[in-house]
Amino acid sequence: MDPAVRLASTVADPLVSQLLLPVEAAPDKTQAEGELLAHLVSFRGESPPVSYETLLSLAEELVGLTAVPHRLPPEDETPVAAVLSRTLWIIGELDTTDVQAVRLGPQDYARKLRSAVPGADRELTTDAAWFHDRLLVTVCLHLLHHLIRRSPRLAERLPERAHRIRQLIDLNDVEAVRGRPEPSVVDADFEARYARSIVEQYNRVTIYGIDLPNPNTPDSWSLDATYLSLSAEFDNAGDGAPGDRPGDSDEPVLSADRALAGHERVLLRGVAGAGKTTLVQWLAVSAARNALPPELSALRGRIPLVLPVRRFAREGFPSPDDFLTAVRHPLAEEAPDGWVARVLTEERGLLLVDGIDEAPESERAALRGQLRRLMRIYSGNFCLVTARHSAVEPNWLADEGFDELSLAPMNRDQVAAFITAWHTAARDDEGKDHHSLDEYRDRLLASIPLYRELRGLATNPLMCGLICALNRDRTGSLPQGRKELYEAAMEMLLQRRDPERRVLYADAVKLQRGARERLLRKLAYRMLVDRRAELPLSEAVAEVQRHLPAIPSTSGQGDPESIFNHLLLRTGLLREQSERVVEFVHRTVQDYLAAKEAIEQGALDLLLAHAHEAEWEEVIRMAVAHARPGECARLLQGLLAPGRTGMQRNRRRLLAAACLEHVTELDPDTHARIRRETRHMVRPTSVAAARSLGWVGPIVLEMLPDPTSVSDQEAHRLAVTVTRINDDAAVHYLAQLRNRASLELRAELAHGWRNFDTDRYAEEIIGHLDPDGLYFPVSDRFELAALRKLGGRARVQIVGHFTPDELLEGLSHDQLTHLWLAYDLATPMDWLAAFPHLTTLRVNPRLPRVSGVPHGIRILS
């Protein structure tokens, strides 16, 4: 969208006000339909105070005062001013009233004026005519705003239109300083120190559990050494656009950093632990170092402003002047007055709003409104907002121009890269098992493809890191399910960590696992009930003090502050942030412990009261896993109980179905009721609904309709759901759709390859898809090898990182006719000459222009 030619009100108001008669000289405004603007302008009538020559001079000043980047070449300024003065002059000849003008709004009112002077701009160049039209809209905006300010009657009659005009004025006001070429010396000095502090603050990442078995191990690791470029896909993938060929409109899976290229505003979704915060850290550090990759060159020179929502969720979105204070940045008190506002005004901001799901659901609408206003006032700044998938509805910020991305599950190459990096980083600790790390790594790399449970869990950095830590801790013996993983982690952290590290005298407090866990559960539960992601240190100590009398083993161990410090320093589950606040190392840890405490306290009614709220979803799942059979039945029956309507009811019922995978014992009647009452909900009517249905998990497979009895359109939606469920039964279900002719359906089946065991999916799905018109996506070396084993395909879509040599070896030279590249190979394309039948090279439009393409190969983008 082209930015408008804008004028700040500080420079526009003195000029625009001269276009109107003073209030005391204006006619009495008593007409029901408003006053004719022809009677209000200062340049018409028997003895107008403003002549046409003065109007032309005003127009020249307006042209000359417009802010960069749309300032005209000097030779065009006089012709544009002449046309602008003629266009404004016509206001005195039209029968438009002030009410009608405000109701039209600046754009339509400007269009009305232009149509009244046809051909006035015929002598202007194309660029000058574009400039005039947009400047006229801006002048009309200030004119209407001036009318509203001097006549409260207009605001009363047209409140929504008046409010919108005031919002648009806010956008123009930031232009007052936008033309400044560089920061002041004071700002520049502070920005250099601020950049260093960002690198220091965010260039560390905690890999869950990496320090656990060994003494003196660091609590975190260099982001440079451990950052893994994750994958992302646009949430409109597969929906297509009118006129597109079915299946051809699928957006490929891109690296997350590359997917951000070319987008100014992005809402990034991902499950807990998917790497959203790590991506935010990487962007902040890379921008602060001026070390962003070429595809993100548009972000170079921008100032990263990291805004973790948990820091201000209860107070609301801070104003720019309060950004640093709200997130408790160590340099907050040293920032020059108005510095953040100047950065945003000059369009140099890199806004990183992390964790919308950390705010209570009741507060998110207000946060959205505040963010929308900020982005309207300070347009031109890059903004990334992150959230869990179910935290906000689809298109939550679409009206503000935000594109939606989802972090994709890690593929086998990424999992292998993470495991390798984890074990490489572990060599830098002071552990005694370095000689076994290669064995641990190789055993884990071999186990994950073999065991479905592990394969399903090791799809994001959090769970993959936890699996690595437990694998090392247990020398290759891994628990299988999510609850079992967390139970093993609690045992490792709360019971075995210090003895096995020979940390016996770190402090005077000696607590066993039971007491440690109970106190941590109390803290987690308090934060859950208070809807907080962190507690001030004083409140955390007070909470510990409140519960000490009920835990006999803590008697004589020290004062509450000593016991809290023991939990903070010795368990590895808490961390202290600046400004003396404490939080859990990850939200999922907090949810796990809070759920266990809720069951212990019998707080089932509390859980059910909030079950429709997205931030309680993980708590409910873990509560079901912890619950005894009677409690489990009560929770699940409560999710199905009447009393909620619309989306709240649907969310609760689908949550009941999703909880079944965590149940250890449940009466058959409740189990049957859940299946019965949710069966009709698994017939999604849109691709977006089909996509969101995938979060329910494997239980959905038991409720889906017979795939042989549905239309191609419904089959496509079912495939969208099932390809997002990592389960052996999903492959069996999808196999029943593989012989259909629908290209849209075949494209979705091919697109789902990355979510399953490569060889099995290739054998049961990919090998049976009709190749006519279908691009087969390849995201890693395993899929490339499997496709070659199938004899290759004529159309291949490269959606993973490969070198030309790898593609030359992996692609079929005789088969390939169409190649679609989603990644920049950073090399000339002359190597494509090895494919004699290649006729078409399709390049993602977000990539740099390719070079060296052999003659005769058509390039599409």
Ranges of H-type helices in 71-158: 74-89, 98-115, 126-150, 152-157
Q: Residues 86, 89, 94, 98: what is their CA dihedral angle, to the nearest 10 degrees?
A: 130
pLDDT digits (tens, 9 = 90+) for 255-291: 777 778 778 899 998 876 778 888 899 999 999 999 8
Q: Which domains does the chain have, with CATH numbers?
A: 9-176 (no CATH), 229-407 (3.40.50.300), 412-495 (no CATH), 771-861 (no CATH)
> How far is residue 612's CA from residue 650's CA, in Å, rounded to a whole number?
9
Residue carrying the six token digits 């006549």: 151
> How far is residue 495's CA from residue 477's CA, in Å, rounded to a whole number?
18
> How far is residue 437's CA from residue 659's CA, in Å, rounded to a whole number?
36
Q: Which amino acid is at 279?
A: L
8 Å CB contact between 235 and 392: no
User: Tokens for 796?
Assistant: 């291949």
Residue 605 pLDDT > 90: yes
Q: Which amino acid is at 437?
A: L
> How far is residue 770's CA from residue 764's CA, in Å, rounded to a whole number?
13
Residue 320 pLDDT > 60: yes
Higher-scoring residue by pLDDT: 39, 425? 39
Local confidence band at 238 (pLDDT 50, 70, 90 cut-offs): very low
- Residue 80: what pLDDT? 93
> How far is residue 59's CA from residue 54's CA, in Å, rounded to a whole number?
9
Residue 826 pLDDT > 80: no
Buried b (16+ CB within 10 A) or exposed e, 672-710: ebbeeebeebbbbeebbbbbbbbbbbbbbbebbeebeeb
What is the rounded average pLDDT of the residues 440-449?
84
8 Å CB contact between 40 and 20: yes
- Residue 679: what pLDDT? 73
Dihedrals φ, ψ of 352, to 5°?
A: -125, 95
List, as one string, the DSSP characters of 786-852. Answer: HHHHTT--SEEEE-S---HHHHHHHS-TTT--EEEE-S--SS-SGGGGG-TT--EEEE-TTSPPP--
- Residue 215: what pLDDT? 41
User: Tokens for 359?
Assistant: 């705010």
DSSP annotation of 256: H
How far is the CA of 18 from the CAs of 50, 322, 638, 820, in angstroms?
A: 8, 37, 67, 59
- Residue 784: what pLDDT? 94
- Residue 838: what pLDDT? 95
Beta bridge partners of 36: 97
For residue 94, how many C-alpha atoms fall within 13 Å in the half-sphere facing its CB?
A: 20
pLDDT digits (tens, 9 = 90+) for 8-23: 776 788 899 999 988 7
pLDDT digits (tens, 9 = 90+) for 706-741: 888 899 999 999 999 999 887 777 888 999 999 999
For residue 798, how many C-alpha atoms fall within 13 Å in the half-sphere facing its CB?
A: 24
Q: Which amino acid is at 861?
A: S
Residue carrying the six token digits 């646009």: 234
- Residue 27: what pLDDT? 55
CA 513 to chain centre: 37
> How far is residue 699's CA from residue 228's CA, in Å, rounded to a whole number?
31
> How far is residue 214's CA from residue 8's CA, in Å, rounded to a whole number?
61
- How would you class 241 by CB atoms within 10 Å of its CB: exposed for 0-12, middle for 13-18, buried for 19 or more? exposed
DSSP annotation of 302: P
pLDDT digits (tens, 9 = 90+) for 448-467: 776 666 776 677 776 787 78
Residue carrying the six token digits 């494209």: 747
- Residue 634: what pLDDT? 93
- Residue 568: what pLDDT? 80
What is the rounded average pLDDT of the residues 147-176?
75
> How far is residue 209's CA from residue 631's CA, in Å, rounded to a whole number?
32
- Residue 208: what pLDDT? 47
Q: Which of 518, 537, 540, 538 is nearest to 527 (CA)?
A: 540
For residue 97, how many C-alpha atoms fall within 13 Å in the half-sphere facing its CB?
A: 13
CA 757 to chain centre: 28
- Residue 177: what pLDDT? 47
Residue carrying the six token digits 């059979």: 629
Dihedrals φ, ψ of 795, to 5°?
A: -115, 125
8 Å CB contact between 857 and 839: yes
Helix then strand then coil, % of the chain, to nearest 5:
55, 10, 35
Strand-by-strand arrangement of the 776-778 sheet: 776-778, 795-798, 818-821, 840-843, 858-860
> How far is residue 101's CA from residue 90's CA, in Å, rounded to a whole number?
14
Q: Which of 643, 600, 652, 649 is nearest to 623 (CA)?
A: 600
What is the rounded average pLDDT of the residues 493-503?
50
Residue carrying the six token digits 């003073």: 22
User: Tokens for 669?
Assistant: 């009647």
E runs forming strands in 388-449: 403-407
How far is the CA of 98 from the CAs of 36, 101, 155, 561, in angstroms?
A: 6, 5, 11, 68
Lowest mean pLDDT among 59-63, 161-165, 241-245, 605-609: 241-245
Planar angle of CA 716, 722, 727, nearest 5 degrees: 155
Buried b (16+ CB within 10 A) or exposed e, 426-442: beebebeeeeebeebbe
- Residue 253: what pLDDT? 66
Q: How long a stretch of residues is the chain?
A: 861
CA 773 to chain centre: 33
Planar angle of CA 552, 556, 561, nearest 5 degrees: 100
pLDDT digits (tens, 9 = 90+) for 92-101: 999 999 999 9
- Residue 3: what pLDDT? 42
- Residue 180: what pLDDT? 47
What is the rounded average pLDDT of the residues 547-573?
83
Planar angle of CA 9, 12, 16, nearest 5 degrees: 125
- Residue 66: what pLDDT? 72
> How far is residue 145's CA from residue 151's CA, in Å, rounded to a whole number?
10
Q: Residues 835, 838, 844, 845: what is their CA dihedral angle, to the nearest 10 degrees?
A: 120
Residue carrying the six token digits 């597969």: 238
> Average pLDDT of the chain?
82
Beta bridge partners of 97: 36
What is the rounded average pLDDT of the residues 117-143?
89
List, as one string, the DSSP characters of 454-523. Answer: HHHHTTSHHHHHHHHHHHHHTTT----SHHHHHHHHHHIIIIIHHHHHT---SSS----HHHHHHHHHHH
User: Tokens for 211?
Assistant: 């320090």
- How would you class 116 by CB atoms within 10 Å of its CB: exposed for 0-12, middle for 13-18, buried for 19 or more? middle
Residue 175 pLDDT > 60: no
> How far is residue 172's CA from residue 677's CA, in Å, rounded to a whole number?
53
- Residue 599: what pLDDT? 95
pLDDT digits (tens, 9 = 90+) for 641-685: 887 766 677 778 888 888 887 888 888 999 888 888 877 777 888
- Residue 833: what pLDDT? 93
Lowest mean pLDDT among 192-201, 240-249, 716-725: 240-249
What is the rounded average pLDDT of the residues 688-696?
76
Q: Which of 655, 577, 643 is nearest to 615 (CA)?
A: 655
> How far is residue 820's CA from residue 860's CA, in Å, rounded to a whole number?
9
The pLDDT > 70 percentage for the chain reads 84
User: Tokens for 304?
Assistant: 């990263």
- Residue 216: what pLDDT? 40
pLDDT digits (tens, 9 = 90+) for 744-800: 999 999 998 888 888 889 999 999 999 999 999 998 889 999 999 999 999 999 988
Q: What separation, in Å, do the N-terminal and C-terminal C-alpha atoms of the chain show?
A: 20
- How would you class 794 by CB atoms within 10 Å of its CB: exposed for 0-12, middle for 13-18, buried for 19 or more? buried
Residues 6+ apart with CB under 8 A from 697: 658, 661, 725, 727
